[in-house]
Structure 1
Amino acid sequence: MSTNAIKPQQWQDLPNGSWLQEAVEDKLASWWPKVFGYHLLSMGPLSASLEKPNLPIGREFSMVQQGDASLIGSYCNLPVQNGVIDAAVCSLLLDFELDPYRVLRETDRVLISGGYLFIIGFNPLSPAFIGKLLPKYQEQLPWCGRFFTPARVKDWLGLLGYQVIGDERLVYHHLLSNIYDESIWQHALQAWLPGSGSLYIIVARKLDTPLTPILDKQRVRRPNWSTAPTAGRTGHLRSHANKKEII
């Protein structure tokens, strides 16, 4: 996929976009009051358009590659100083970037220690993946993008030293037709295969110290000393042996 590939500029560019936006906003509503700080960075136009009620953040910056936003530039080279952002939101962004891990590394650079990172993406282990198998939809949004498994995204976060504190799925639908209301089979899919939601939301925090496994210190091998007999006991044994020889 090239960097010139089609990318969603608003939720309505996606099938059932308004439904997806509402579902994401509903899931994130309980997280916003937990985020404290001065600056929040919304990366991509979809992140900026999310409603963020009860967010105790002083100022929100929006970042896009082109268009109307607080910041204009590349997601791989953010025009932001190191460690000044308290929280960042990447909504349906990594799926359409050529180097998603580099985007995460750059986001990590600008986040403070303990900062929050919200990632929303399309789940390949879901009914939404059907569209990628059908030639009719392969060049359309969102199937023209790459779907990364939540496990892979969490592996990237682990390499960067993040602790995942939230991992949820939502929208149990293939998105190939309009969603008018949640059906019985959607409820059944959610009950029996809870990990098969078409969207995932991962919430992570940047740790002060990365979760790097520490090898146990090598134990000092103690010499295998044998118990030496005391001088008095040795003399007593020799004296007893001499008496036997005399007898």
Structure 2
Amino acid sequence: MSPDLHGSSWGALPGGQQLRHDLELSLAYWWPRIFGYHLLQLGPLSADFDSSKCAVKHQFSIYPECGASLRGEYCQLPVKSASIDAVAMHLLLESEQDPYRILREVDRVLVSGGYLIISGINPFSSAYLGKLLPKYQQRWPWNGNFFMPARVRDWLGLLGYQLVHDERLCYHAFMSDWDFPLLLRQWQHHWLPGTGAVYLLVARKLEAPLTPLTNRQRKRVSGWQPAATAGYSGRMKRE
């Protein structure tokens, strides 16, 4: 894991403080609806996030750098299985080589019915321009991988999650010399809502109940019964 792939603070991204504010406003609806004992904040950006309105009181962070509540790798969380009620991860998947592996590890520690909050860069937006300009290609977050929200939703579906919220935020290019006028961003938000620079997904872990099958006994019929055949059981017409 390369440190230069990760953003250590919202201020490292042009418009990042406004993005954090927009995310906090959107999540203000969900925090009182998430209950449990433990909220895990993955990554420094998730740790530097106002989740004080969350009903879960014990909140702690995990990431490899100093400053985390627990230092650890995202693919090997130092947490026992099925012990976390909610996980928040902001702008994290873009910086990882195997994002699906992280989601599987998060799925391991989440309890059934737990919530997973993910935000990431939407490649179908003006934020993708940084990947085309040499000036920004080696900077965070453009030096990482941008995943379509539909792909992230597919990963969550494979893991058995129910998507309860899907939103686009922040119509911003995140480049100081490519900042679009406010009127243009408002027009984009009104007419092209799917092109927001950041996607926000809230999903809930579901598990199908294991219903024991009843012991079905074959009904015995008195009298002679023909034996079942593997082939065609109809009448044959002889020549």
TM-score category of the 2 structures, normalised to the smaller one? 0.7 to 0.9
- Aligned length, in residue pairs: 212
The match for 2:95 is: 96
After TM superposition, list the pairs within 5 Å mapping 1:109-128 onto structure 2. 109-128=108-127
Q: Where do 5+ consecutive residues of structure 1 fail to align?
A: 211-222, 226-247
The match for 1:136 is: 135
Q: Shift of the alpha carbon at 1:58? A: 2.7
After TM superposition, list the pairs within 5 Å mapping 1:154-165 onto structure 2. 154-165=153-164
The match for 2:12 is: 13
Which contiguous aligned blocks of 4+ residues in structure 1 show a shift greater than 3 angstroms?
Answer: 2-5, 178-182
Structure 1 letter corresponding to 2:204:
R
CA root-mean-square deviation: 2.1
Q: Where do 5+ consecutive residues of structure 2 fail to align?
A: 210-232
After TM superposition, list the pairs within 5 Å mapping 1:37-186 onto structure 2. 37-177=36-176, 183-186=182-185
Q: Shift of the alpha carbon at 1:82? A: 0.4
Q: Output the TM-score relative to the length of structure 2.
A: 0.84
Q: How far apart, in 1, do the equivalents of 2:27 and 2:183 lie?
A: 24
The match for 1:30 is: 29
The match for 1:230 is: none
- SS of match in other structure, 1:116: strand
Residues 33 and 56 in structure 1, CA contact (< 8 A), matched pair in contact too: yes
CA gap of 1:144–1:181, structure 2 versus 1, over 3 A, is closer
Moved more, 164-173 or 12-21: 12-21
The match for 1:200 is: 199
Q: Shift of the alpha carbon at 1:56? A: 0.9
Q: Output the TM-score relative to the length of structure 1.
A: 0.81
Residues 31 and 51 in structure 2, CA contact (< 8 A), matched pair in contact too: yes
Q: Shift of the alpha carbon at 1:14? A: 1.3
Moved more, 135-144 or 70-79: 135-144
Q: Shift of the alpha carbon at 1:131? A: 1.0
* Cα shift readout 1:101-135 (whole Å, capped 9, x = no counterpart): 10000000000000000001000000110111111
- Higher Cα radius of gyration: 1
Q: Shift of the alpha carbon at 1:16? A: 1.7
The match for 1:188 is: 187
- SS of match in other structure, 2:37: strand
Structure 2 letter corresponding to 1:54:
K
Structure 2 letter corresponding to 1:85:
I
CA gap of 1:192–1:97, structure 2 versus 1, over 3 A, is same
Q: Shift of the alpha carbon at 1:142? A: 1.6
Q: Shift of the alpha carbon at 1:6? A: 2.6
